[in-house]
Amino acid sequence: MNFASVRIITDDLDRLVEFYERVTEVSAKRPAPVFAEFVLPSCTLAIGHSQTVRMFGADSVRAADNRTVILEFRVRDVDAEYARLKPFVDEWVQEPTTMPWGNRSALLRDPDGNLVNLFAPVTEEALERFSGRP
């Protein structure tokens, strides 16, 4: 089994696509007006408009209602990403901080309130844990 993607459901697809294009510096693929994908080396981030929820079953998903999942992006330099995105991001949950497990991390919320972690392993132990991963 391979983990293929994470999908966010939103009421404002264009706003969220623009946000993640800025964060990832990758252009979204838009195979349908109600769907977009960011194909990254390690995983795909998909964004679907709330109109697509009917395909999954009524009330199976609610847009902008997530408080349990953190989307994590491994970056080269957390502090540089923080500086690059600071003028654009409305809500920073945590400025760049080195965590007890050895990752430097900055947390923000996307326009729908989803929590996003930009991180980089910085200690020897953390670098070893991530060796060989994309």
pLDDT, residue 91, reads: 97
Judged against a pLDDT cut of 90, whether residue 60 lies above it is answered with no
Q: Is 91 exposed, middle or buried (0-12, 13-18, 19+ CB in 10 A)?
A: exposed
Domain 1-57 -> CATH class: alpha beta
Q: What is the mean pLDDT of residues 86-108?
A: 98
Q: What is the mean pLDDT of residues 7-23?
A: 97
**% of residues, the chain, pLDDT over 90:** 83
Topology (CATH level 3) of domain 66-134: 2,3-Dihydroxybiphenyl 1,2-Dioxygenase; domain 1 (3.10.180)
- In the chain, where does the domain assigned CATH 3.30.720.120 lie? 1-57
The pTM for the full model equals 0.92
Distance, in Å, from the CA atom of 4 to the CA atom of 73, rounded to the nearest integer, reads 15
Distance, in Å, from the CA atom of 9 to the CA atom of 48, rounded to the nearest integer, reads 5
- In the chain, where does the domain assigned CATH 3.10.180.10 lie? 66-134
